[in-house]
Amino acid sequence: MTTAIESGKGGLRAYLTAEVSHSPTQASLQRLYFGCVRFAQNPLAMIGLGILLLLLLLAIFAPVIAPFPMNEQNLGRRLLPPSGAHWFGTDELGRDIFSRVVYGSRITLQITCLVAVIAAPIGLIFGTVSGYFGGWTDTIMMRITDIFLSFPGLILALAFVAALGPGIRNAVIAIALTVWPPIARLARAETLTVRSSDYIAAIRAQGAPAWRIVLKHVVPMCLSSVIIRITLNMAGIILTAAALGFLGLGAQPPMPEWGAMLSTGRQYLLGSWFLAAAPGLAILVVSLGFNLFGDGLRDVLDPRDE
Amino acid sequence: MSATDVNQPRETISRGPEVSKIPPWAWDAWRLVSSVAVTLIGLLALTFFIGRMLPIDPVIAIVGEQADASTYDMVYKQLGLDKPLYVQFWFFISDMMRGEFGNALFTGNKVSADLLRVFPATIELATIAITIGVCLGVPIGVLAAVYRGSPIDHITRILGLLGYSVPTFWLGLMGLVLFYAALGWVGGPGRLDVFYIDIVDRVTGLLLIDSIIAGEWEVLRNAVSHIVLPASILSFNAIAFISRLTRSFMLAQLSQEYILAARVKGLSKWKVIRKHAFRNIAVQLLTIIALAYGILLEGAVVTETVFAWPGFGRYLVSGLLAGDMNAVLACVLIVGIIFVSINLICDLLYRILDPRTK
C-alpha cells in the first residue's frame, strides 16, 4: 500500500498510467482504467451504458417521474392519442401509458436481475463440478446440459411455464431454467484450464476436500467470464420475458409489464396503434442498450477480434 | 450461442485402446449414433419430467370435476398413474416412438393429425423467411466485410444490433398498422382472405404450391399478399444473424495470404472475392443457414400469434392457453427433435463438404 500512496503524489492519473506498476493493486487498477478508457472511446457502447443508466434512474424514481399513478383509471379519457398531457396517449381504461411504461421499467429490471441471480449460480456450480471431477460425472452432466440446449430457449420456457402455470414468478423460473446451460458450458471450459494448475494441486496436497476446492478456488476464477456472459444474455432474457407476457403466460394484467401491455394493445391495434407502440419501443430500446453495452464490454475484455 | 458453437474447434475424439481393430469411420458412426440416441432419450425424459411437474390433474382433465370416485379410479388406472414412475416413463417412450401423442382436448382431434395439418403452414412461412434472410443477409455481410469501416459496415452493424434487439411481435404489430391498415399494400392476418378459403384442394398443405397446382392465380396472389409481411418480419432476425456471421467469416478469409496472392496475380477484387473467398466460406454459411432455419421455428411462435397464422406456433400457444399438455408436450418434443436433426445435418454437411475436416 505504501507504494500506492507514494506514487499517488504524482496525481491519480500518473498513478494509473505509470509504465511500471509497483503493486498488484496498482496493476489491476490500471487494467480497469485502460479498460474504461477503451470502453469510453466506443461511442456505441457509451450509448448502451447511457440507456442502462436511464433505465436504472427510471426504475428508482418511477413515482417521481410518472405524472400519473400506474393504475389510475379515468374512463372519461380512454384511448386518447398522444398529447401534451398524455405523452404516449391513454389506454383502454384511461390509464396514462407513459406512466405505465415508466413503472414497467421496474418490472423489466426485476426480471433480468432475478433471472441472473438464479441462473448464474446454477450454471456456475454445474459447470465447475462437471469440469473439476471429469470422467463420468462430466459426461453425464454435460449430456444433461446438451439436452437443455437442444430446445430453442423460448419453446423450453413455454413448456416450463405450461407446467408451472402462468405468472411473472414462474416466468422468471422458466427463463432461468433456459439460461443456465450456456453458462455451465463456459464455467466448465474455464475450470478445465485451472484444474491442472499448481495452486490447485497445492491445495489438494494440503488435504482440502473437493467441495472446498471447487467453491473457494475454482468458482472465483470463473466468476468474471460468467458475469460478462450473463450481461450479453440480458437482451435475450428481456425479449423472452416480453414474449411470455405478450402470449399471456408471463406477467398478468393489470401489471404494467411491457409485453403484457403490448398484448392488450393488440386488441385495439387498428384504431389506437399507440397502445402497442410505446411499450414495444421501450423493449426495443432497453434490449438495444444491453446489446450495445455487452458488445462494448466484449470488445474491451476479449480483444481477439482486433 | 449456437452460432459460436460452429466456430469452436471440434472436440478431439478420445480413442480407446481397442481402436486399432475398429476402422475410424465405424468409431465415428458409433459415436454419432450413440450421442443422437442419448440426446433423444434425454429429450423424452425432459418432456416427461415437465409433464409430471404440471399442477393440472390429468385425470380430472379427462373425466371432469364432477366425476365420482370409481370413474376417477378407473381412468387413473387406465392412464397407468398407479404404476411406478419408470414404468410410466416406459409407456411414455413407447407412445411417443409410435407417434401416439394422445388427443388434443381443445381441438378434439388426435395431436398427430393436428400437427400434420398445421406444420405445412409454418414450413411455408419459415422457408420464405429464410429465403429472404439469405438473399439479403449474405450480400450485406459480404459488402460489410469488403468495405470494412465504411458507412456500409456501420449501417450493417446497427441493422444487426436492431435485429437482435427488436421484439418480433411488436415489429409485426407495427407492420400490420402501417402496411395493412394505413397503406393497404399487404393482406391482413391469416393465410387468405375469407372468400378465398377452401377454393384450392389441399395437396401439399403449402398454399403457394397448392394454388399453383390448381391453377388458381387469384388465390395465389392473395396468398402471396398475406405471406409477405409475416415472412419479412420473421426474416428480420435471420438477416441480422446471417449478415453478422457472413461478415466475420469473410473478414477471416480476406486477411489470409492466398487472397493477397490472387490479387498480386492480377485478378480483380471482386473476382477474388467471388472465386476464392466466397467459396471458402460457403460450407460455413450453409451450416449457419440451417441453424437460422431452426431459430426461425422459435420466432414463428410469436409471429404466428400476431398474424393469426394457423401454423405450429399458434397451435402450441393455443394448447398452452387451454392447458392441454398432450398438445404442448408433442410440440415441444418435435421442436427438440427438429433442432437435434438440424444440428446433426450441419455436422454431417460440414464433414462431407469441407475437405479440411477430413
Cβ of residue B335 closer than 8 Å to a chain A Cβ: yes
In this prediction, residue B61 carries a pLDDT of 67
Return the minimum-mean-pLDDT range out of A92-96, B8-12, B37-41.
Answer: B8-12
Q: For A143, name the nearest residue in chain B, comparing CA atoms only.
A: B39
Q: Do A273 and B174 touch (CB under 8 A)?
A: yes
Beta bridge partners of B110: B103
Domain that holds residue A54: 44-305
pLDDT, one tens digit per residue, over B74-106 is 777 777 777 787 888 888 888 877 777 878 777
What is the SS3 assignment for chain B?
Answer: CHHHHHHCCCCCCCCCHHHHCCCHHHHHHHHHHHHHHHHHHHHHHHHHHHHHHCCCCHHHHHHCCCCCHHHHHHHHHHCCCCCCHHHHHHHHHHHHHCCCCCECCCCCCEHHHHHHHHHHHHHHHHHHHHHHHHHHHHHHHHHHHHCCCCHHHHHHHHHHHHHHHCCHHHHHHHHHHHHHHHCCCCCCCCCCCHHHCCCCCCCCCCHHHHHHHHCCHHHHHHHHHHHHHHHHHHHHHHHHHHHHHHHHHHHHHHCCHHHHHHHHCCCCHHHHHHHHHHHHHHHHHHHHHHHHHHHHHHHHHHHHHHCCCCCHHHHHHHHHHHCCHHHHHHHHHHHHHHHHHHHHHHHHHHHHHCHHHC
Amino acid found at B132: I
Q: Is residue A12 part of a domain?
A: no
CATH class of the B111-357 domain in this structure: mainly alpha
In this prediction, residue A49 carries a pLDDT of 93
Within 10 A of B56 (CB to CB), how many other CB atoms are there?
Answer: 14
Angle between helix A97-133 and helix A168-195 axes, rounded to 10 deg: 30
Question: Quick check: bond before A24 cis, omega within 30?
Answer: no
Cell numbers of A136, please?
Answer: 463420468
Asked if this assembly's ipTM is beyond 0.90, the reply is no
Whichever domain contains A253, its CATH number is: 1.10.3720.10
Cβ of residue B164 closer than 8 Å to a chain A Cβ: yes
Q: Is residue A102 part of a domain?
A: yes
Which candidate from B165, B302, B335 shows the least CB-CB separation from A151?
B335
- Local confidence band at B135 (pLDDT 50, 70, 90 cut-offs): very high
CB contact at 8 A, A177 and A161: no
Q: Do B320 and A247 touch (CB under 8 A)?
A: yes
Chain A segment 245-274 residues within 8 A of B by beta carbon are 246-249, 259, 262, 265-266, 269-270, 273
Number of domains in chain A: 1
Which candidate from B42, B157, B335 shows the least CB-CB separation from A147?
B42
Quote the CA–CA distance of B226 and B205 in Å, as a whole number. 16
Q: Do B328 and A159 touch (CB under 8 A)?
A: yes
Cβ of residue A140 closer than 8 Å to a chain B Cβ: no
Amino acid found at B72: Y
CB pairs under 8 A between A and B: 148
Within 10 A of A132 (CB to CB), how many other CB atoms are there?
Answer: 22
CA neighbor of B303 nearest in space, from B293, B294, B312 = B312
Q: Do A162 and B302 touch (CB under 8 A)?
A: no
Q: Alpha helix (H) ranges present in A150-212? A: 153-164, 168-195, 198-205, 210-212
Q: Do B166 and A284 touch (CB under 8 A)?
A: yes
Q: Is residue A171 part of a domain?
A: yes
Question: How close does chain A come to B318, measured CA to CA in Å?
Answer: 10
Cβ of residue A134 closer than 8 Å to a chain B Cβ: no
Q: Name the percent of chain B lying above pLDDT 70.
A: 91
Q: Do A246 and B302 touch (CB under 8 A)?
A: yes
CB contact at 8 A, B309 and B190: yes
Quote the CA–CA distance of B352 and B356 in Å, as a whole number. 10
Whether B57 shows a pLDDT value over 60: the answer reads yes
Within 10 A of A86 (CB to CB), how many other CB atoms are there?
Answer: 22
- Local confidence band at B51 (pLDDT 50, 70, 90 cut-offs): confident
In this prediction, residue A55 carries a pLDDT of 93
Q: Is residue A6 part of a domain?
A: no
Q: Which of residues B262 and B351 earns the better pLDDT score?
A: B262
Q: Do B47 and A283 touch (CB under 8 A)?
A: no
In this prediction, residue B126 carries a pLDDT of 93
CB contact at 8 A, B103 and B112: no
Q: Is residue A62 part of a domain?
A: yes
Residue A253 Cα distances to A96, A217, A250, B179, angstroms: 15, 46, 10, 29
E strand or H helix at A103: helix A97-133
Question: How close does chain B come to A270, measured CA to CA in Å?
Answer: 6
Q: Do A146 and B294 touch (CB under 8 A)?
A: no
pLDDT along chain A (306 residues), means of 10: 48 80 82 84 88 93 85 80 83 87 92 93 93 90 88 87 86 93 92 89 90 89 84 90 90 88 88 88 94 84 53
Cβ of residue B302 closer than 8 Å to a chain A Cβ: yes
CB contact at 8 A, B302 and B233: no
Q: Do A235 and B165 touch (CB under 8 A)?
A: yes
Hey, which of A92-96, B14-18, B51-55, B132-136 has the most confident mean pLDDT?
B132-136
B-chain residues near A156 (CB < 8 A): 332
In this prediction, residue B232 carries a pLDDT of 93
Within 10 A of A279 (CB to CB), how many other CB atoms are there?
Answer: 30
- Best of B7, B34, B35, B165 to substitute, by most chain A Cβ atoms within 10 angstroms, is B165
In this prediction, residue A305 carries a pLDDT of 44
In this prediction, residue A9 carries a pLDDT of 52
Quote the CA–CA distance of B193 and B198 in Å, as a whole number. 11
B-chain residues near A182 (CB < 8 A): 1
Alpha-carbon dihedral of residues B129, B134, B136, B137, nearest 10 degrees? Answer: 110
Quote the CA–CA distance of B103 and B302 in Å, as a whole number. 24
Cβ of residue A13 closer than 8 Å to a chain B Cβ: no
Cell numbers of A68, please?
Answer: 400519473
Q: Is residue A95 part of a domain?
A: yes
Segment B2-23 shows an average pLDDT of 50
Q: Name the percent of chain B lying above pLDDT 90.
A: 19
Cβ of residue B330 closer than 8 Å to a chain A Cβ: no
Question: How close does chain A come to B319, measured CA to CA in Å?
Answer: 9
In this prediction, residue A128 carries a pLDDT of 94
Chain A segment 184-213 residues within 8 A of B by beta carbon are none
B-chain residues near A277 (CB < 8 A): 174
- Best of B159, B169, B180, B318 to substitute, by most chain A Cβ atoms within 10 angstroms, is B169
Chain A segment 33-72 residues within 8 A of B by beta carbon are 44
Side-chain half-sphere of B236: how many Cα atoms within 13 Å?
24
Q: Is residue A20 part of a domain?
A: no
Quote the CA–CA distance of B135 and B317 in Å, as a whole number. 30
Q: Do A155 and B335 touch (CB under 8 A)?
A: yes
Q: Is residue A17 part of a domain?
A: no
Q: Structure pTM?
A: 0.85
What does the domain layout of chain B look like in residue ranges?
55-83, 111-357
CB contact at 8 A, A65 and A306: no
